[in-house]
Amino acid sequence: MFNLQGKVALVTGARRGMGRTHALALAAQGAKVVITDVDLNECELVADEVRAANGDVACFKLDVSNKTEVDNVFDEVVAKYGRLDILVNNAGIYESHPFLEMTEAEWDRTIDINLKGQFLCAQRAAREMAKNKWGRIINIASIASGGVGVGIGGGAHYTASKGGIIGMSETLAVELAPLGITVNVIGPGAIDTPMVGAANISKKAMDAMLAGVPLKRMGRPEEVSAAVVFLASDEASYVTGAGWLMFYAGITKVLNPEWSAAGFLVHAKTFSGFYQSLAQPAFLPYVNVLNEWGLTLIGASLILGISVRLSSILGALMMVLYYFPVLEFPYIPEHSYLVDEHIIYALAFLSLAALRAGSVWGMGGSISNLPMCARFPTLKKFLE
């Protein structure tokens, strides 16, 4: 499984941290690995590790924000190996700057490396991959890519760049699919890397962050690399346009089946952004057609004990009704709709009321004892 024999993989930002482990993991599965970074000396140290494990490796100095350097490196890779099959767009920086004090140069530097760099490398890689009708582009973003309620103080430029990566990747997945190229995103959470260490996160802030992580620890670079290897393999041939927000408790809070339906409703807005950025294939049939109002109805129907699948269908139906114009009269300036948001919110509140009644009548008393309710005392008191 995950046999990459004969494949040529290029990893940017590979001199340390996750880039290093991505290169080692790909080489361990038989890929010929091209290691690139701005520091060629440190790249050579990683290359020595690959060679020690009998891997095939090459090193190049590369500033991903410089198109001339990108073209030159890709030309050399193709000249050496005759092809390029896998690109891991890992290069990136994080330099904390308060928003009100951030300079244009500081903004541009982060956007150029983190976002423009991925664009330049992905574009050139796709042109090479298209020749063989096979390719894997894996873009590294961040849990702080937008849509899941995770912001970073002093990181407006960083989060903007990472959010752009997800948007770009979703579009590339559509455009490049006919060429046999898949494009996916990995958005790591708190991973123990030199870049995170250099951010000088206080112990108090780190403890607060890890308090919401089920495993109560930071992730290891090798754990992210395992996902990279999968996405680079033939086993992931039907996975494209997916954003894997890895190792973050927010996903658990939404999807953990032990949470009650009320918890789903409480986090409906989070889930709305979550499905847009995560876009896991397994969930697409159920959430792709839903918007804010459909999600509200899902929450309401779940509270009444309806299954996830059925409630998703109901949510989709409600969205269709909401957008379907049924009346067009000269004296009505806008279309009238069968259902508007007020009715949907009313359904949600009626569902809560029904749940409350069930508790009073002895049919739902155990709901208030669920773990989710302990986090929301007001809701627990309401349900008791």
CATH number at residue 45: 3.40.50.720
Residue 218 shares a structural domain with residue 322? no
Residues 351, 347: Cα–Cα separation, whole Å? 6
Q: Indicate the number of domains in the chain.
A: 2
CA distance 6 to 333: 63
Domain boundary among the residues 247, 269, 287 is at 247
Same domain, 138 and 219: yes
Question: pLDDT per residue over 217-275, tens digit each?
Answer: 778 889 899 999 999 999 999 999 987 765 444 433 333 333 334 334 433 433 344 33
205 plus 339 within the same structural domain:
no
At a CB cut-off of 8 Å and minimum separation 6, what does 315 contact? 290, 294, 295, 297, 298, 301
Within this chain, do residues 224 and 282 fall inside the same structural domain, yes or no?
Answer: no
Specify if 359 maps to a domain: yes
- Clarify whether residues 219 and 348 are in a common domain: no
Query: Is the pTM of the predicted complex or chain greater than 0.75?
Result: no
| Catalytic residue from among 81, 94, 158, 323 | 158
Q: Is residue 369 part of a domain?
A: yes
Residues 165, 275 within the same domain: no
- What pLDDT does residue 311 have? 47
CB atoms within 10 A of CB 33: 30
- Is 298 among the domain residues? yes
Write out the chain's pLDDT in tens, 384 residues. Answer: 789 999 999 999 999 999 999 999 999 999 999 999 999 999 999 999 999 999 999 999 999 999 999 999 999 999 999 999 999 999 999 998 999 999 999 999 999 999 999 999 999 999 999 999 999 999 999 877 776 656 777 889 999 999 999 999 999 999 999 999 999 999 887 787 766 665 566 677 667 666 667 777 778 889 899 999 999 999 999 999 987 765 444 433 333 333 334 334 433 433 344 334 334 444 344 333 344 445 555 455 444 444 444 444 555 555 555 445 444 434 334 444 444 445 555 555 555 555 445 444 444 444 455 444 554 555 555 555
Whether residues 62 and 171 share a domain: the answer is yes
Told to judge if 158 belongs to the known catalytic residues of this protein, a careful annotator would answer yes
Last residue of a domain, one of 247, 271, 290: 247
116 and 17 part of one domain: yes
> Which residues form the domain of 287?
261-383
188 lies in the same domain as 39? yes
pLDDT for position 366? 46
Helix (H), strand (E) at residue 9: strand 8-11
Q: Where among 220, 247, 274 does a domain terminate?
A: 247
Q: Are 118 and 62 within 8 A, CB to CB?
A: no
Burial state string for 266-290 with b = 16 or more CB within 10 A and e = fewer than 16: bbbebbbbbbbbbbbeebeebbeeb
Contacts of residue 301, defined as CB under 8 A and 6 or more positions apart, other chains included, come to 310, 311, 314, 315, 351
Distance CA 56, CA 34 (A): 9
Q: Does residue 350 sit in the same domain as residue 232?
A: no
Q: Is residue 357 part of a domain?
A: yes
> Tokens standing for 30?
């038989």
